[in-house]
Amino acid sequence: MASIQKSAETAATGDRQRAMGLLAKASRAELQAAFDALDDKPAAQPVRGPETGLVMVRGRIGGGGAPFNLGEATVARASVRLDDGTVGHGQALGTDGAKARLAAIFDALFQQPARRAEVAALLDAVAARIAGEDAEKARQTAATRVDFFTMVRGED
């Protein structure tokens, strides 16, 4: 019983993790358009931010060894509380506080079962856009792959 509950929690965590990752990769325009299209726009009180700060990005020695500090990146973040008390967090590389706030609102909505579908539609659109861009880039890169051929000279 406990393990079933635990795995359900893990799945919920995984879903939210994926959602937050996509919200971070969404453009502000995508988030704003999705927010404008909501029939029932939630009122969101700021809990924290929007604020800009730094995250120290780490690498690994040799690519897979001990961690080292590579350098910092700017990060914007915001946390909001909806009327029913749901708290959402938004964070993304860059300094766009308005985007972080919108991401926080969608993170909060994602936690409300009744509204998850609206967020899921946005997430699917963002995921599809990124997948399309990645695939295009991969095809462009593939066109620069070297096809070696062997020249046979002289007689055997």
Partner 1 sequence: MYVAVKGGEAAISNAHRLLADRRRGDRSLPAIGIEQIVAQLGLAVDRVMAEASLYDRALAALAVRQARGDMIEAIFILRAYRTTLPRFGYSKPVETGDMIVERRVSATYKDLPGGQLLGPTFDYTHRLLDPSLLTDEAVEAPLEREEAGEPVMRVSDILAGEGLVEDDGSLPNGHIAGDLTREPLEFPMARDLRLQALARGDEGFLLALGYSTQRGYARTHPFVGEVRIGAVEVELDMPELGFAVSLGRIQVTECQMIAQFKGSAKNPPQFTRGYGLVFGQSERKAMAMSLVDRALRAEEFGEDIVAPAQDEEFVISHSDNVQATGFVEHLKLPHYVDFQAELDLVRRMRREYEAAQNTDLPEAAE
Which residue lies nearer to partner 1 by CB, 117 or 133?
133
Closer to partner 1 by CB, 32 or 52: give it. 52
The answer to whether 15 and 120 are in contact (CB under 8 A) is no
C-alpha distances in angstroms, 90 versus 17, 50, 122, 133, 150?
11, 9, 15, 23, 54
CB of 2 to partner 1, least distance (A): 18
Q: Which H/E stretch holds residue 32?
A: helix 28-36
- Residue 16 Cβ, how far from partner 1 at the closest point, in Å? 8
Kindly list the residues in this chain that would bind partner 1 in the complex (CB under 8 A).
13, 16-17, 20-21, 24-25, 51-75, 77, 89, 91-95, 134, 136-146, 148
> In this structure, what token pair is assigned to residue 136?
């295009």
Task: Find the helix or strand (DSSP H, E) in which 144 lies.
Answer: none
Pick 27 or 120: Cβ nearer partner 1: 27
Q: How far is the CB of 21 from partner 1 (least distance, A)?
A: 4
Collect all residues with Cβ–Cβ distance below 8 Å to 63 and sequence separation of at least 6. none
Q: Which is nearer to partner 1, 21 or 125 (by Cβ)?
A: 21
